[in-house]
Structure 1
Amino acid sequence: MTAVLTSLLCLGLSLGQRLQAQAGIVPRPTIWAEPGSTVMRGRTVTIWCQGSLEAMEYHLHKEGTPEIWDKQQPLEPSSKAKFCIQQMTVDYAGRYRCSYVSNTGMSALSYPLDLVLTGVYDSPTLSALPSTGVTSGGSVMLQCGSSLQFDRFTLCREGDQQCSWTLDSKQASRGLVQAVFSVGPVTPSHTWTFRCYGHFNSHPHVWSSPSDALQLLVSGEEFLAFHRKGLGSAKGMGTGSLGLQRQAPRVQKRMVRHPAGLRDIAGKAMFFTCLLSSYLRTVQESPSVDQQDPICLLE
């Protein structure tokens, strides 16, 4: 079913592009970078431009450069071209757009792609206020600071295609500069690992090395229930529900015989010890293992 839907979608896109070409409309291309638009110094990155099946040549434009930065033929039989940067340096950092030429004419420029070079300056520090522990649904303040007089700080979350938070720096004590980001609401269903960077207004696409990673520890009833060993397995995880299930344990009766009636202190101690043992087994043991939960009886 998925393959059929994908084929229909591709057919629809191809037909739409051909109808636009027949009407004299050249579709705007799309631009992106792989493995991402934030690139460590010396690493390899590829810029992709995807336009129409009618495209004959693709052009890459870099902001601040009057001439076309690069030209590439479309890859057959696809409707895109790639521009490879073998070793990322300051010269390649900047804002890019792409376009293409077809029989209908020149396309409009794509929306911009900001290609950022990292690893040029020393790493800032990143900390959580007051701590990395956060209640599910709550917020936390993340402080990024440095002794270098950066104009701005950018906060990035692991797994995101682009960094979402950028703030101007402010003077702190002892000649430090910092920025404090408010992050939230946080939920256990996402990864909350962050790094931050510092950079200057004069070179906005040239950043520092990343800070050490900081991971938030999200707590809450659902989060604890999901991670607590022995309370169940999550199936059909959806919004607001973890679908916890528990297998029925096997039961083994354990008789605690009262040696001298209910008033016998030693007998009572054995009885309550048995109850405590049963409770600890219920909480700690995994449901995937056959459990032997005792039933404590007084006789």
Structure 2
Amino acid sequence: MEFFLHKTGHPNLEVQSVPDGPVAEFPIPSVSREDGGSYTCDYHSITDQSRWSYPSDPVEIIVAGLLPNIPALTLVLIPLRELTQLGPSSRIPHSRSRSEKALMDTGSISTGGTDLIQPGAVLDPTHLGSKGPGREYPKPTIWVSPSRVVALGRSVTIRCEGLYPGMQFFLRKAGHPNLQVWTVPDGPVAEFPIPSVSREDGGSYTCEYRSITEPSRWSHLSDSVEIIHQGVWFVLNKEGRHFPPVDSDGLEAEFPISNIHRDLGGSYSCSYHSKSEPFNVSDPSDPVELVEPFISSQPSDPVQLVVAEPSLPKPSISVRPTRGVTLGGPATILCRARSQNATFLLYKDGRYWGRMAPAGDMAEFPVAGARWEDAGSYSCSYHTTREPVAVSHPSDPTRLVVRDYTQGNIVRLALSTGVLLALALILAEAAHGWRRGRR
């Protein structure tokens, strides 16, 4: 086991690992005034650190005075499974036989060496070995409202009630070294709220208090109270239809949907309720829409929003070859600016076509394998790397002409053939007339 020693009012704790026995020892070589106070301990398994014991009953060290040559003292901590009550019928390890004899025979505290400390004992350096009174104030009452059994995410309040006003209350959780402190100058009750219960909030709690004006006057430790968290049921709703609830021990649930079809599209919301309160259901969540791709349109073509910067001179644009490009042939659109390292934007018929960031002051946009749809009016603009959102005014437009010379050649050949046929007919008619004239 690994043992933890807590001193009331001190955030730091002492830790002692005991791999081969049930007893941990915390020596105090020379008792001083600072050592006085209330001590408790708890322990957990070395191999399974999530399993904790309840805190022990408190033991009080009260230093009544200081004299030289005070004997050393050791606190010996024994798990409850080994020692439930100090008395004549208790059984403790044989290695502590001297302490056992001192407690069984006299009920007092032995001095010098290793001894067991009885709860409520007084350490008086002038007479170590006599019994003394315990803590001064009675132990407080601790409870959880509205219930110590709570669903995750709900709120609870731990209340600690003493008998007198003007007290400072301390809330402890088993296995956690940090304390919560609440000062109540005008009442006997301290409240420790937990707005949203999580898994870490479950466990055993105790509390104690002391006087605000006299911090050395403490109460006994309260009885322990347990906060038990429980899971919730989540329900998925679709336009009046309820899906089977999902059991969850956490703060979320998953509803898998397989085999998507048209009827599953629509608006969904969810709610939840505690397992112990099935009729106390939360308000529904905000709705979320499930949209199926096959009943939705394809996204539109993008549109470019350009903010013109008047201080940037507009670029120039040209096309090669200038007299047009043959259908299927290559062409190049050139855009030139007066700024180096600019990013150029090309537009066709007013719509964004592409961008290019060359190293110099000119960008070349190639058109490989010109098609009929590539023909049209082109313009370009640019922006600098220092101001990417400030774009120049567009250039004057230029036109890319796509020609099909094959069709032109066929037309010309057909016309030439027609002319030749007409000439042949005219010559044939003339020759026929000349022959008739000679007869």
Normalised by the shorter chain, which TM-score bucket? 0.3 to 0.5
Relative to its length, the structure with more strand (as a share) is 1
TM-score, length-scaled by structure 2: 0.26
Q: Which has the higher contact order (CA 8 A, sep 6+)?
A: 1
TM-score, length-scaled by structure 1: 0.37
